[in-house]
Amino acid sequence: MKIAVSGKGGAGKTTVSALLCRALEAAGREVLAVDADTNPNLAYALRLPEGEKIVPLAEMEDLVQEKTGAKKGSYGSFFKMNPEVADIPERFQFRAGNLRLLVMGSTRQGGKGCACPEYVLVKSLISHLLLHRDQDMVIDMEAGLEHLGRGVTEKVDLLLVVVQPNRVSCLTASRIFRLAREIRIQKIAGVGNMLTSPEEKEYLQRQVPEMEFLAYFPLRPEIREYDQKGKDLYTLPWLQENVNQLLKRIREVSHA
């Protein structure tokens, strides 16, 4: 099962991605976690030991040049548009139990997209992982879905959009839904996050009516407490139950 997780920055998509990875791992599955956010924090959210020492692939100048034939950040130069990337996962993934993590890193400069060697490398690698890796995968993505090309979207079992109960987050979710439809992602669903009242479920349903919500996560004080202490959120019993129920619904929707 391959799940891409998106949403407005701050909505909690990295936390949800990490919780899904933990739930799959607890179920005895081998999981590949892919951090495709330009501000990578999935290693921290997974509470991986020494995760902060992981160097993102897009920042590895020697690797970028090895695979594309051009230096990192070189604009207007000739480089390979379809680099060979099959060996990268085994060479650079971080391993912890049944979990594997690949950190892609930023391919943006000055707030703009980057048609540069490192962008081509990252996009090619994500395409390879979706097309050729037969294992559970959770991809923590940005709202723009830039790394998902049309040729690989049929391999995404579900795009999960994390939404907070506020107007901007809902507008972003609707935009993500439209983008996903444009690149032909078939299964799209939402997760309400940081809810403080039952009425906020209805708010999300009204604001994003095109999206089915599979779960709603409440905002509770112990979540902030666990985060501040660096404790694994998946060890919270009530949250673990919520995530396991979400995973069950994901399986139902993605195989419907």
Task: Tell me the C-alpha to C-alpha distance, in Å, between residue 87 and each of 129, 132, 133, 197.
Answer: 11, 12, 12, 48
Q: What is the pLDDT of residue 111?
A: 39
Q: What is the pLDDT of residue 119?
A: 85
pTM here?
A: 0.92
Give residues with Cβ within 8 angstroms of 220, minimum separation 6. Answer: none
Q: What is the pLDDT of residue 80?
A: 83
Question: How is 97-145 classified by DSSP, letter by letter?
Answer: TTEEEEE-----BTTB---SHHHHHHHHHHHHHHHH--SEEEEE--TT-
Q: What is the pLDDT of residue 31?
A: 97
Q: What is the pLDDT of residue 110?
A: 40
Domain map (residue ranges) of the chain: 2-254
Average pLDDT of the chain, as a whole number: 90
CATH architecture of 2-254: 3-Layer(aba) Sandwich (3.40)
Q: How far apart are CA 139 and CA 105, in angstroms?
A: 13
Tokens at residue 129, please? 């992982």
Q: How far apart are CA 232 and CA 228, in angstroms?
A: 11
Q: How far apart are CA 163 and CA 168, in angstroms?
A: 9
Residues of the chain with pLDDT under 70: 73-77, 107-115, 150-151, 256
